[in-house]
Chain A
C-alpha cells in the first residue's frame, strides 16, 4: 500500500497548501487596498487560477508552439513557421471533408440533443409511479463502459442482423431503396452518427435538465395556472426562461462534445470515404503518423472553431438567458 500512502500524503499537503494560498491571496490583496469583495473573489478562484497556470496554460502554449513546428514526438521539434497551416489549407486532402463532416454533425446533433434531453427530462419530472426506476433506466446508457457501448452500436447497425435494419429495411423498400450499410456507405455515415447522438439525450444531459426543472419555483406555475395560462404558455413563459441558464450550458457542452466526438468513431470504423471526424483525424496524424506538430495545428483550428461558435452562443445568450440571482 506504499504508493497509495505516498499519494495520499502528497494530496493532503497540496490541499493544505492551496488553502493557505487562498488566505495569502486575500490578505495580500487587502494589504494592497483592493476592495474586500474583489479580494474575496480572487481568493476563491485561486485554486482554479493556479491549476490553470500550471496544468492548462502550459500544455496549451506548448501545443500552440508545436503547431509551428515539425515534431515527431520522439525527437525535439523543428521550427517550420506557418508551413503546417499553409499545408492544411492548400494541400491537405482530408482537412475540408473532416471540417464539413464535423460541423454538419454538430449542427444536426446539438439541437436534437438539447431538445430531446429537455423533453425526456420533462417526462421524467412527472411524479409517475416508480419514477426512480425509470430515471435509473434512462441513466443506463451513460454508465456502460465505452468499449461495451461501441460494440453495441456495431451490433445495432449491422446491415444484415442489426436491430435497426429490421425496422428500417421495410420502410426503405417502400421508397425503392436497398438495405443501408450504415458504416460502409458514405451516404449513411452522418445519419448513423446523428442516430447515435440520440443516445446522448439520456444520462447526464437529462439529469441536468431534470434538476433544473425541479429548481423552477412551483409558485410561478401556480400563479400562471390561476391566470389561466395553458401548458404551452407555461412552458414558453415560465419553464424556458427559468431554465435558460441550463439550456445555455447544454448548448455549449453539446457543441464541445459534438466537435470532439472520438471513441465511438474509432471503434465503429466507418468508411473514411465519408470524411473523418476532426478529433479522430488529429489523433491519426499525431499518434499514428508521428506528426504531432501538424496535429497541433489541426487542433488549434478545431479549437478556434469551437471558440467562435461558443462566443456566438454566449453573445446570443444575453438575449435569452435569464439569471435570477445575477448581480450586474
Chain B
C-alpha cells in the first residue's frame, strides 16, 4: 500500500514545492518600496554609486533603491530580463540602446510626468540640446541623460614643447597643424620622422597618435569636413560624397602614409590609454572623463579638437543616462526615485548634461586634476554632436564599422575605393527600417 502511494505523494510535493516558490510574503504597505536599478558599473564605480544610493535611501520614506550591477554583457542581461518581464525598475542606457529600447516599447514614456514636475532635474530647458534629444524618441521623453561627454584631444604638453609647439595654440589648430605636429612627433628608434628618408615604420619608438577601428570615431572627421555618414532624415548614407571622403582620406593618410599610430593589436595589448600615460603616444582622443591628466611623469592636458576644412570642430558625444522600465509595478515611486537619482548623478559625473552644472568650476571641484582642461571641456560641449539614431542603428553601425572603418584603419583600403560599395550596404539597412 505504502509503496503505491509514495510516488504520488512525492509528485504532489514536487508540484507544491514549485508552487510555493512563487508566493513570497506580503509586504507592509507603509514600508518603502524596493526600486531596482540596473547598471553597468564596475567595482569602484559601483561602490561610489552605492554611497549615493545609501544617502538617497536614508532620506526617502517611499522608496529604497537597490543596485544590480553587471559590468560584462550588460545589454544581454537587460534584454533577457525585459523579455522575461523581470527587468529592473530603473536602468542605465547609453544613447544607442535608449533608442532601441524606446522604439521597442520597453521604456516608460516620461513626457507627462516631467511636464508637471518642478524637480531640478526635470527642467528640460536646463539641458544641452544634443544629449536631451538623444533621450527622446518620436517627440516623447523616455529617459534623462546624466553624462554628456565630448571627445577631447589629450596632448602630452612636454612632447609639444620639445618639438617647439606652444601648447596655448593647440585650441586654435586646424587639421594641417595637427598633421604637421603628428609627423614631427612620430619617431623611429633612430629619431627619424615619417617624412625623413630611411624612416622604419616597423621600428617606431614613439607614436604621435592612437587610433583603432571604432575609436576615435571616424565620423568626427567626416563631420568636420562637412560630410555626413547618415543624413538627418535617415534616408541616405552619403559616405562617398567629396566632403565625407575628405575626412576619411585624411585619416587614411595619417595612418598609412605617415604611420602616426600603432596597430590595434599593439594598442589593445598595452591598454588603450596606457601608452599615452607612458609617453609612448603623444596625443590621444578620449572622453572628457578620462583621467589622463593624472600623470607623474608628463604634463597632459585636454584641448578642443582641431578644426576641419569647414572650420567645424564637431566632436562625438557619448551620452549615458537612465530610463524607467515600462513593466515596473510602481511607476510613480520609480519616477520619484528616478528623479532624485538623476539629480544626484548630475552632481557626481562630469560633464553634466545640465547647463547650470556644466561649468569649469564644478568640473574642477569634482575632478581637481582637470584644472587646466576644464575650460576646454566646456568649450567642447558647444561642438558636441551625436549620430542620428534610428531603431536599426546597431545593424547599420555594424556594417559601417566592419565594412568601412576596419578596412581603412586596420587594413589598407583607400576610402575612395570602397565608399560607394559600403554606401549601398548601409542604405539597404535604411531601406529595411523605413
Contact = CB atoms under 8 A, between A and B. Distances in A.
Find out whether A and B make contact in their complex, taking CB atoms under 8 A apart as touching.
Answer: yes
A99 B204 CA distance: 38
A30 interface: no
27 contacts: A9-B17, A10-B17, A13-B13, A16-B10, A17-B13, A21-B11, A24-B7, A24-B11, A73-B104, A74-B82, A93-B403, A154-B269, A158-B269, A159-B265, A159-B266, A160-B263, A161-B269, A162-B265, A182-B265, A183-B265, A184-B263, A184-B265, A271-B213, A271-B410, A272-B402, A273-B411, A289-B398
Contacts of A14: 14, 17-18
Given A74-B104, A272-B402, A160 B266 contact: yes
A191 B398 CA distance: 25
B407 interface: yes
Contacts of A158: 265-266, 268-269
Nearest to A17: B14
Contact of A287 (B79, B395, B403, B411): B79
A179 B266 CA distance: 13
A181 B265 contact: yes
A159 B202 CA distance: 10
Contacts of A271: 213, 406, 410-411
A290 interface: yes
Interface of B: 6-11, 13-14, 17-18, 21, 75-76, 79-80, 82-83, 100-101, 104-106, 202, 213, 262-266, 268-269, 392, 394-395, 398-399, 401-403, 406-407, 410-411, 425, 428
Given A6-B21, A10-B21, A74 B83 contact: yes
A72 interface: yes
Contacts, number: 118
Nearest to A28: B7
Interface residues of A, number: 44
A122 B375 CA distance: 68
The DSSP consensus for interface residues of chain B is: helix
Contacts of B428: 91
The 6 closest A-B pairs by CB, nearest first: A17-B14, A20-B10, A74-B104, A13-B17, A20-B7, A272-B402
- Which of A10, A73, A93, A178 counts the most chain B CB atoms within 10 A? A73
Contacts of A90: none
- Which of A17, A157, A178 counts the most chain B CB atoms within 10 A? A17
Contacts of A179: 202
A290 B269 contact: no
